[in-house]
Structure 1
Amino acid sequence: MSDSRAPLDVVLIGGGIMSATLGTMIQRLQPDWTIRIYESLGEVAQESSNPWNNAGTGHAALCELNYMPEGKDGSVTPDKAISINEQFQLSRQFWSSLVEKGELPNTFITSTPHMTFVRGGENVKYLRKRYAALKDQPLFAGMEYSEDHKVIREWAPLLIKERTREPIAATRITAGTDVDFGALTNALVDGLTERGAELWLNCRVKSIRRTKEGNWRLKVKHTVGNTPHTVDARFVFVGAGGGALHLLQSSGIEEIKGFGGFPISGKFFRTTNPKIVAQHQAKVYGKAAVGAPPMSVPHLDTRVVNGQASVLFGPYAGFSPKFLKKGSWWDLPGSVRSGNIGPMLAVARDNGDLMKYLISELLASRAKKVKALQEFMPSAKSEDWELITAGQRVQVMKKDAEHGGVLQFGTEVVAASDGSIAGLLGASPGASTAVPIMLDVLQKCFPQQWAQWEPKLRELIPTMGTTLNDQPAKAAQVLEETAKVLGVEQ
């Protein structure tokens, strides 16, 4: 069965935060364009955007040590951390504008201090240097540092209770946030459909092919009833998380050649014990184990989902060949192509530490997992914590002239040269930077419309195209204004 109507203007594949953000932008820029969202599951935001499939951290590099690694010479530079924070401010401004217009509730975001915590003399020295590099940066205003057990106990009692007098250090910044990206996605999609966009649930896009007219023909299978149909679109965005690689490969665009994916699954310990939850109101990040990917940085987090507070610890990395939590066991082998097998083998050759780490995680017993928790929270008792399975992440592997192939831990926008199709690969820092990533998609894919759209986008995101960290007064103003609108004032 084919859709007999004229080609749709926009098809968004995947009902997560990326598609919801891009669709919301396009609808405001071109309200006359037809938009359809295809989601393979029965609800939106059930994969990476589901609140239990991600850490919920408003990633602004306030606490994530992997954005400021120590150089071989011992130096620590703030550039990457500042860049991540700048991106998060664009997301905050976009959300704030929608809240001010009454088009988005502010219940998806909660004020939650962000902390770092390290143990041992060398790690304390590192954190001291990191603090020195960040404390005077305008976007990190208010960051505190301490090596005093008594002070750290006041910030986060669970870190100190029953701990010996070993060297420790922590930073804290009270401007951090916890974000329910599932609630945010649902609210954005509700707004899209209220203004005319179509949402097709239980519909899996199987392939994408170019038509002789230059549009894209999508073959879609209804997962309920198994009825197939085809539809044509002028522009396609593949925001299908781990499923994006297969669909971009099916499109045959030159730009996807050489890309591969390495799936990593994750698990968290979770407790809703009110005595524990009441003692911890922070997101506390530590240092990753040797060979661990950035998504495996250990952290003890306050979470607020549907108004209910809990505490999570993890993640514990695992492996599955699935590219989505509800994907297929054939996802990984099915992604191998003649153009990417070389880069994939090169990545395997050069990442022995990662392989060793993943194997050790797969073999770890519950007792070993509890011991890792107790390194953060010495008083933790196994019976208070349940192990939950979080989401699947697919790290990007791509060609590299020097190494043959490299493993990339960030996100990558892959777009056809004519801008008619684009997709997003990778994970970290993901949902928190959905707004700047989707601005990048718009600029790459719609260069002719960009000049006309820019003023409209600036109404929603006033500092778009500029930076805040080099404007202290402006940075303070924007932080204060968005905090007030979003209800995360300190």
Structure 2
Amino acid sequence: MACHEAASRWTCHVRHYHQVRKVIMSNKQTRSDVILIGAGVMSATLGTLLKELVPNWKITVFEKLASAGEESSNEWNNAGTGHAALCELNYTEEKADGSIDIGKAIKINEQFQVSRQFWSYLVNKKQIRNPQDFIMPLPHMSMVQGEKNVAFLRKRFEAMAANPLFQGMEFSDDPDKLMEWIPLIMQGRTSQEPIAATKIDSGTDVNFGALTRLLFDHLKSKKVEMKFKHSVDNLKRTDDGSWELKVRNLDTGTVERHTAKFVFIGGGGGSLPLLQKSGIPEGKNIGGFPVSGLFMVCRNPEVVEQHHAKVYGKAPVGAPPMSVPHLDTRFIDNKKSLLFGPFAGFSPKFLKTGSMFDLIGSVKANNLGTMLAAGAKNMSLTKYLIQQVMLSKEKRMEELRQFIPNAKSEDWDLLVAGQRVQVIKDTDAGGKGTLQFGTEVVSDAEGTIAALLGASPGASTAVSVMLELIKKCFPQHMKAWEPKLKEMIPSYGVPLLKHPDLIRQIHTSTSQSLGLNRELHPAM
């Protein structure tokens, strides 16, 4: 017995020795040119761009989950599936004089055209083999009910149809035409309330989870090191201006030290805590407000087959912009799906896989006033989110029946989507504690570190957002990189709106490269 106990103690001592030795060994510094934190679509896009521009740079990616594209970019978590401002009514504001401001829609559409060009480049270079794995042609539609909303939609259509970016958009308030366009929505509709819709056939459905995985598969073939189940716990600036990261291997618990000249924090909602840990002045006085989302998913294939479009409605008064209701055809795992939502909710987590202490942990001395001001300003939003959380399935079905009058409860299940963390900051226009709806990059003055914050339109504009980041953080290289950038994105540096012929040329060439000319649904 004594021998057995002695042997056990010896085994424990040996195991402890190896564990300590492993930690010591892992503390040696591993140097990269670029470190990407988070294996989502933004990191995938930035890594792919940089590998094209400077193939010899060493890039390392850290992701705390077991694979790429599992948080905000995942196809079941991501509400943004091809935002091109073709159908999203919150991108076209009605001004006090009754006119429609389509400026935001123009900007987002131009950004999506940049994404299409870059994806086409990757397909043409055989870096993505089959574009159908991530992008499919799909009509985009807007639908409204009531005289006032119909009048708004007509004015919106007139403003947009005259613009070359939105060429091909149609408007109808004819029930027979609408039955042809959206039979599932029109069947069983007994209300005499006016109804109208716009339709444009050049829309797409983009599976950003699939795209993320395709991009990282390509990066791995280019010797980019992917470290899954690795959590970046801390980071600090070194004396030579580089960044040192403390990275924990979640499988073994060991700590690794990694340094890089440039760090991108693209961890979705997890970006804000790391930005705060960086200590850069630009990251101060910024907070985050998490909003969760829920979707209804149709489980009846017969119902799914009756609808073929993304149909967006108008958001309820007081609802955040990401809560615009839509009935959404999706292509996931090469299978057609139908989703309705999103229903907003609240969770203090900054990531779907995050901690219940994320929100309170993000409140610091430098952003406390900003966060308190935001809370006071957004009481109506808080009330709306609480009401949304309390909705029963039947109440959600009632909202769905505004779109599909004949919807049956047994055909639909509830799906929890990803977390969105809206940026809170002090602005000249909104004052202290302004809640921002959009995507923004925060970087230091020297361009050594950048963090992506915010939400929609997010993934759809990833290429434009990352190009702006590259321009801001690598200004010394831009002259040398410009020819390659123009090869990848022919419209680079050109305002599309001033060049209608270029718009048509880009639309034709990218449609061909991405296989968007195929007819998926002849009845439509």
- TM-score with structure 1 setting the length: 0.98
- Equivalent residue runs for 1:404-423 within 5 Å: 404-423=432-451
Equivalent residue for 1:77? 101
Q: Which amino acid aligns with 1:97?
A: Y
Residue in structure 2 matching 1:155, options 181, 193, 198: 181
8 Å Cα contact 1:56/1:180 also seen in 2: no
Rounded Cα–Cα distance in structure 2 between residues aligned with 1:264 and 1:6: 37
Rounded Cα–Cα distance in structure 2 between residues aligned with 1:404 and 1:80: 24
Equivalent residue for 2:256? 229
Pairing 1:91–2:119 present: no
Rounded Cα–Cα distance in structure 1 between residues aligned with 2:299 and 2:410: 12
Deviation at 1:7, TM superposition (A): 2.3
Equivalent residue for 2:137? 111
Rounded Cα–Cα distance in structure 1 between residues aligned with 2:391 and 2:333: 32
Pairing 1:464–2:492 present: yes
**Matched residue SS, 2:94:** coil
- Equivalent residue runs for 1:37-436 within 5 Å: 37-104=61-128, 105-107=130-132, 108-164=134-190, 165-401=192-428, 403-436=431-464
- How far does the alpha carbon of each residue in 1:382-425 deviate from its partner, in whole angstroms, 9 at most, with x for none? 10001010000000000134621200001110001100000100
8 Å Cα contact 2:80/2:456 also seen in 1: no
Rounded Cα–Cα distance in structure 2 between residues aligned with 1:286 and 1:142: 20
Rounded Cα–Cα distance in structure 2 between residues aligned with 1:356 and 1:6: 49
Q: Which amino acid aligns with 1:177?
A: T
Deviation at 1:333, TM superposition (A): 0.3
Rounded Cα–Cα distance in structure 2 between residues aligned with 1:475 and 1:276: 36
Pairing 1:33–2:57 present: yes
8 Å Cα contact 1:346/1:404 also seen in 2: yes
Rounded Cα–Cα distance in structure 2 between residues aligned with 1:479 and 1:467: 15
Deviation at 1:56, TM superposition (A): 4.7
Q: Which amino acid aligns with 1:192?
A: L
Rounded Cα–Cα distance in structure 1 between residues aligned with 2:174 and 2:367: 51
- Equivalent residue runs for 1:471-486 within 5 Å: 471-486=499-514
- How far does the alpha carbon of each residue in 1:135-179 deviate from its partner, in whole angstroms, 9 at most, with x for none? 111110100000011111111111111112320010000000001
Rounded Cα–Cα distance in structure 2 between residues aligned with 1:19 and 1:445: 15
Rounded Cα–Cα distance in structure 2 between residues aligned with 1:352 and 1:5: 48
Rounded Cα–Cα distance in structure 1 between residues aligned with 2:364 and 2:479: 38
Rounded Cα–Cα distance in structure 2 between residues aligned with 1:332 and 1:352: 17
Q: Which amino acid aligns with 1:55?
A: A
- The CA RMSD over aligned residues, in Å, is 1.1
Rounded Cα–Cα distance in structure 1 between residues aligned with 2:198 and 2:501: 24
- Equivalent residue runs for 1:449-460 within 5 Å: 449-460=477-488
Larger Rg: 2
Higher deviation after alignment, 229-238 or 85-94 = 229-238
- How far does the alpha carbon of each residue in 1:404-452 deviate from its partner, in whole angstroms, 9 at most, with x for none? 1200001110001100000100011010000000001101100101111
Q: Which amino acid aligns with 1:117?
A: M
8 Å Cα contact 1:262/1:397 also seen in 2: yes
**Matched residue SS, 2:506:** helix
Structure 2 portions without partners, runs of 5+? 1-22, 519-524
8 Å Cα contact 2:29/2:256 also seen in 1: no
Alignment CA distance shift 1:163-1:60 (3 Å): same
8 Å Cα contact 1:57/1:283 also seen in 2: no
8 Å Cα contact 2:28/2:257 also seen in 1: no
- How far does the alpha carbon of each residue in 1:349-387 deviate from its partner, in whole angstroms, 9 at most, with x for none? 122321121111011111110000000111111100010
**Matched residue SS, 1:469:** helix
Deviation at 1:272, TM superposition (A): 3.5
Rounded Cα–Cα distance in structure 2 between residues aligned with 1:83 and 1:453: 24
8 Å Cα contact 1:317/1:361 also seen in 2: yes
Equivalent residue for 2:33? 9
- How far does the alpha carbon of each residue in 1:50-94 deviate from its partner, in whole angstroms, 9 at most, with x for none? 000113521110000000122233221211101100000000000
Rounded Cα–Cα distance in structure 2 between residues aligned with 1:451 and 1:372: 53
**Matched residue SS, 1:428:** coil
8 Å Cα contact 2:29/2:257 also seen in 1: no
Rounded Cα–Cα distance in structure 2 between residues aligned with 1:220 and 1:47: 19
Rounded Cα–Cα distance in structure 2 between residues aligned with 1:114 and 1:55: 14
Residue in structure 2 matching 1:489, options 517, 520, 523: 517
- How far does the alpha carbon of each residue in 1:470-489 deviate from its partner, in whole angstroms, 9 at most, with x for none? 32222111101101110111
Deviation at 1:3, TM superposition (A): 5.5
- How far does the alpha carbon of each residue in 1:307-364 deviate from its partner, in whole angstroms, 9 at most, with x for none? 0111000001000000000001111000001111111111121223211211110111
Rounded Cα–Cα distance in structure 2 between residues aligned with 1:176 and 1:253: 40
- Equivalent residue runs for 1:433-444 within 5 Å: 433-444=461-472
Q: Which amino acid aligns with 2:160?
A: L
8 Å Cα contact 1:290/1:357 also seen in 2: no
8 Å Cα contact 1:45/1:182 also seen in 2: yes
- How far does the alpha carbon of each residue in 1:168-203 deviate from its partner, in whole angstroms, 9 at most, with x for none? 010000000001111111110011110111000000
**Matched residue SS, 1:59:** coil
8 Å Cα contact 2:30/2:257 also seen in 1: no
Rounded Cα–Cα distance in structure 2 between residues aligned with 1:457 and 1:189: 20
Q: Which amino acid aligns with 1:113?
A: P
* Percent identical residues: 54
8 Å Cα contact 1:272/1:309 also seen in 2: no
Q: Tell me which stretches of 4 or more aligned residues in structure 1 moved more than 3 Å.
A: 1-6
**Matched residue SS, 2:496:** coil
Deviation at 1:211, TM superposition (A): 1.4
Deviation at 1:4, TM superposition (A): 3.5
8 Å Cα contact 1:480/1:489 also seen in 2: no
Rounded Cα–Cα distance in structure 2 between residues aligned with 1:413 and 1:62: 25
**Matched residue SS, 2:35:** strand
**Matched residue SS, 1:268:** strand
Rounded Cα–Cα distance in structure 2 between residues aligned with 1:4 and 1:450: 33
Rounded Cα–Cα distance in structure 2 between residues aligned with 1:333 and 1:57: 31
Rounded Cα–Cα distance in structure 2 between residues aligned with 1:487 and 1:426: 31
8 Å Cα contact 1:290/1:353 also seen in 2: no
- TM-score with structure 2 setting the length: 0.92
Structure 1 portions without partners, runs of 5+? none
